[in-house]
């Protein structure tokens, strides 16, 4: 049988939140109302990841390649979210994570995350 191979993961964006389904059956999901931080990470030279975190440092990893206008439009609902800053961070991401947005009422600390 020919056709496109099964993707490693796919992302659903709704008015309620973001969900990423992995090929192994695992799922990451985060409600928009729980997002307190957005980070950008360069996984490789070609793949950029958007990391959405909640107050406990749990969240959802969204590959830029899996985003569309719905995802970007929904980010704009976060208080004072700057799409230009997101774009600049994605273009400049090299080493480590770049925080592009924090909630006006963030938790005192969020953990530093390791990315494989």
pLDDT in tens, 67-78: 889 999 999 999
Mean pLDDT of all residues in 69-96: 89
In the chain, the domains with their CATH numbers are 9-101 (2.30.29)
Task: Tell me whether residue 108 is exposed, middle or buried, using C-beta atoms within 10 angstroms of its C-beta: 0 to 12, 13 to 18, 19 or more.
Answer: exposed
Comparing C-alpha atoms, which of 53, 35, 57, 44 is closest to residue 93?
A: 44
Between 15 and 44, the more confident residue is 15
Q: Which of 6-15, 42-51, 57-66, 88-97 has the highest mean pLDDT?
A: 57-66
Of 22-26, 27-31, 52-56, 108-112, which gets the smallest average pLDDT?
Answer: 108-112
Comparing C-alpha atoms, which of 18, 16, 58 is closest to residue 37?
A: 58
Question: What is the pLDDT, as a whole number, of residue 104?
Answer: 86
State yes or no: pLDDT of 112 exceeds 90: no
């Amino acid at each position: 049988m020919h056709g496109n191979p099964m993707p490693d993961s796919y992302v659903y964006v709704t008015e309620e939140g973001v969900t990423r389904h992995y090929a192994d059956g695992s799922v990451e999901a985060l409600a928009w109302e729980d997002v307190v931080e957005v980070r950008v990470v360069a996984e490789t030279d070609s793949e950029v990841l958007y990391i959405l975190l909640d107050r406990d440092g749990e969240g959802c990893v969204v590959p830029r390649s899996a985003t569309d206008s719905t995802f970007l439009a929904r980010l704009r609902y976060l208080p004072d979210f700057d799409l230009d800053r997101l774009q600049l961070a994605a273009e400049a991401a090299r080493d480590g994570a770049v925080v592009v947005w924090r909630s006006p009422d963030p938790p005192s600390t969020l953990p530093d995350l390791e990315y494989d």
